[in-house]
């Protein structure tokens, strides 16, 4: 089975203090610590477990800058066989449809049975998987938390509101978005990272993919982010400041004072 997993390099929420950029429409992305999007890590683990059972290849792909190569190598150290970096100045400022168009252009050059994305990434849009599926004319299931592989079909479980579970049979090839908790992603050690440090990762730009420059990047973005802010605090709300220990202490004090403990 040929599996492609779309992965995104995102700021690591555990490692960064976030501030807004001067335009006030995004995070200040200078000097942030980055890692692979958590949902994508589960998707890669699932893909590796599938090929361990039925054979095949896992390719990881990302749309990003030169530094995004590090997340491809990390996922290859985990067990993905190949990586593809889609990188071009023309991709900067793409909206979700732009990112999906770029991915779709590369996906249709390959012959994948299963395309996986995470259920969502750092911007929380949750739109790439569905858009890629629609552009490729493939069936799509979101929030997948269980997969059973058949010959030309898969059975996927989906998490439903209220803790209910739904099972669907899907014809291959198809696109699915993976929910966290579907598995336990394996640990990636330094030795694994070293092993793939020199593996060739092809880099492709707009020309290689044959995407229309007008449909991607800022020129093609029909959705433009115009503001980004922390909402005003509601009445009675209080923001606890300090280190984690200090915040815990203050929270316990507040709960005791209000009779909650």
Ligand X SMILES: Cc1cc2nc3c(=O)[nH]c(=O)nc-3n(C[C@H](O)[C@H](O)[C@H](O)COP(=O)(O)OP(=O)(O)OC[C@H]3O[C@@H](n4cnc5c(N)ncnc54)[C@H](O)[C@@H]3O)c2cc1C
- Residues of this chain that interact with ligand X (CB under 6 A) are 6-8, 37, 39-40, 62-64, 93-96, 99, 117-118, 120-129, 221, 223-225
Cβ 142 to ligand X, closest distance in Å? Answer: 10
Cβ 182 to ligand X, closest distance in Å? Answer: 13
Judged by CB, which is closer to ligand X: 7, or 114? 7
Judged by CB, which is closer to ligand X: 8, or 170? 8
Q: How far is residue 152 CA from its own chain's centroid?
A: 26
Judged by CB, which is closer to ligand X: 205, or 250? 205
- How far is Cα 118 from Cα 38, in angstroms, rounded to an integer? 8
Check if the beta carbon of residue 41 is closer than 8 Å to that of residue 105.
Answer: no
Cβ 260 to ligand X, closest distance in Å? Answer: 35
What is the side-by-side order of every strand in the sheet holding 140-149?
164-171, 153-160, 140-149, 174-178, 114-118, 2-6, 57-63, 82-86, 203-204
Position closest to ligand X via CB? 118
State residue 207 phi and psi, 5-degree precision: -65, -45
118: its two tokens = 């995470």
Judged by CB, which is closer to ligand X: 37, or 101? 37
Judged by CB, which is closer to ligand X: 7, or 196? 7
Cβ 74 to ligand X, closest distance in Å? Answer: 14
Cβ 40 to ligand X, closest distance in Å? Answer: 5
Place of tokens 């394996």: 186
Nearest to 4 by CA among 50, 65, 64, 67: 50
């Amino acid at each position: 089975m040929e599996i492609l997993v779309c992965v995104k390099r995102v700021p690591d929420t555990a490692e960064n203090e976030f501030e807004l950029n001067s335009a006030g429409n995004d995070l200040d992305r200078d000097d942030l610590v980055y890692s692979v999007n958590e949902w994508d890590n589960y998707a890669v683990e699932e893909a590796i477990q599938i090929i361990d059972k039925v054979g095949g290849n896992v390719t990881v792909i990302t749309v990003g800058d030169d530094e995004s190569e590090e997340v491809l190598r990390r996922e290859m150290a985990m067990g993905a066989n190949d990586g593809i970096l889609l990188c071009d100045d023309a991709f900067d400022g793409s909206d979700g449809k732009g990112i999906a168009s770029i991915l779709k252009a590369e996906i249709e050059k390959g012959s994948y049975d299963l395309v996986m994305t995470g259920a969502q990434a750092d911007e929380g849009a949750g739109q790439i998987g569905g858009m890629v599926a629609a552009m490729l004319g493939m069936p799509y299931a979101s929030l997948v938390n269980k997969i059973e592989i058949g010959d030309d079909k898969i059975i996927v479980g989906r998490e439903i509101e209220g803790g209910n579970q739904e099972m669907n049979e899907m014809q291959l090839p198809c696109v699915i978005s993976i929910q966290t908790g579907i598995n336990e992603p394996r640990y990636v050690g330094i030795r694994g990272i070293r092993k793939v440090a020199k593996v060739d990762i092809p880099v492709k730009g707009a020309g290689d993919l044959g995407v229309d420059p007008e449909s991607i990047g800022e020129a093609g973005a029909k959705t433009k982010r115009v503001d980004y802010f922390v909402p005003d605090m509601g009445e009675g709300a209080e923001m606890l400041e300090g280190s984690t220990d200090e915040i815990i202490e203050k929270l316990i004090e507040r709960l005791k004072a209000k009779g909650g403990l």
